Amino acid sequence: MPKGFFSQGIAVLLSKPVSIHSIAKALNESFEITNLKDSSEQWVFSGPSLLIPYRPEVNGNIQVDVVDNPWPDGMGDPTEDTTLFGAWTMGFFGPHTYPQNLERAAQQAWGYPEGRQAVAEHTAFIRVRSSYTFGQVDDQAPVLPEDYDPFPELLAVDAVAGALLQMPEALCYFNPNGECLASAQLMQELKQRYAETQLPPLELWSNVRLFNLPEEWLMMDTVGMLQLDAVDHEAIFHQDACDPNEVAGFLRNISNYVYENGPVIKEGDTTDGPGGIRWQSTLLDEGLTNPPRGVIRWYPLDGREKPAGLE
């Protein structure tokens, strides 16, 4: 779902439900808290909640709400569960979230394999969502400010999530848009790395995934770069061509390059890549796997004939 009512959205998975007052206590030392509501009518839109001002000059807020149910990975059905389906289509589980996002995050939890157990054990979750539309009465008002910048916004949302991860009931961080999981320790390590090197903590916002293709070919991709208003990438290569770990690093580097420089990569551009060879770009409206999104696909120029359908 595109950015609308909520511009970012992540979750903290819980071992058991907690009260919004417990959440407020966990956040109170580090954040200003307003509009605490200890009840709600429909959890799919919001459970008991509170607001944390973020850029109040443009009506920015971070909403924190708690849901006493497991994450609804199927995201509803247009005929049998219309309320949940409607909430998903309107972005109430985060922009760019797509059904089975938690399942895929657990399957592809290479950087935090313990997260798979956390997913299996969770019974509730906290949502942390940013918005510039709370209390907005002008339906013609823009949903994002003119000077909108997703990078500091994601850092702010993650700072709230990091504080929530200190609660004893917190199991792990879950980014449904980037389909990735993280522990409190990993979040802290990436925060420290950013402070020391200014290298963005993309691992919290965008997963790198690995898939098997026919004839011993592999596909690796990124998911989640839309949170930064940037494009995702795919790399398709034969398993003998190069080390998948090198490809993962290549995808991280090219993702960061495009985020910093904008849409500068054109159809047919080449660059040095894994295996000590040139890789060539193809711009596509949709990648090979869910979630549906445009991607830049990369092939190594190693002379191999590609599998059928991937030419």
Most distant CA atoms of the chain, gap in Å: 62
Characterize 190-214 residue by residue with b for buried, 16 or more Cβ atoms within 10 angstroms of its Cβ, and e for exposed.
bbeeeeeeeebbbbbbbbbbeeebe
Task: Give the model's pLDDT for residue 279.
Answer: 97
pLDDT above 80 for 22: yes
How far, in Å, CA of 136 to CA of 9, rounded? 19
pLDDT in tens, 208-228: 999 999 889 999 999 999 999
Task: Give the model's pLDDT for residue 135.
Answer: 77
CA distances 208 to 63, 105, 107, 194, 205, Å, are: 28, 10, 12, 19, 10
Contacts of 209 (CB under 8 A, 6+ apart): 104, 108, 179, 220, 221, 222, 223, 289
pLDDT in tens, 190-207: 999 999 999 999 999 999
Confidence label for 309 from pLDDT (cuts 50, 70 and 90):
confident
Which has the closest alpha carbon to 132: 58, 48, 198? 58
Task: Give the model's pLDDT for residue 127.
Answer: 98
What average pLDDT score do residues 43-68 get? 97
| Rounded CA Rg of the chain | 20
What average pLDDT score do residues 71-77 get? 96
Task: Give the model's pLDDT for residue 138.
Answer: 60
What average pLDDT score do residues 18-26 get? 97
Task: Give the model's pLDDT for residue 310.
Answer: 74
Task: Give the model's pLDDT for residue 35.
Answer: 95
Share of the chain above pLDDT 90, in %: 90
pTM of the predicted protein model: 0.95
Task: Give the model's pLDDT for residue 142.
Answer: 73
Task: Give the model's pLDDT for residue 284.
Answer: 96
Side by side, which strands form the sheet with 295-300? Answer: 207-213, 217-223, 232-238, 295-300, 277-284, 270-273
Tokens 């000590």, located at residue: 276
Task: Give the model's pLDDT for residue 308.
Answer: 77
pLDDT above 70 for 239: yes
150-164 and 184-197 helices, crossing angle to 10°? 140
Kindly report the average pLDDT of the chain as a whole number: 94
Task: Give the model's pLDDT for residue 139.
Answer: 64
Q: How many other C-beta atoms are found inside a 10 Å radius of the C-beta of residue 114?
A: 12
Task: Please tell me the total number of residues recorded for the chain in this structure.
Answer: 311
Share of the chain above pLDDT 70, in %: 97
Task: Give the model's pLDDT for residue 212.
Answer: 94
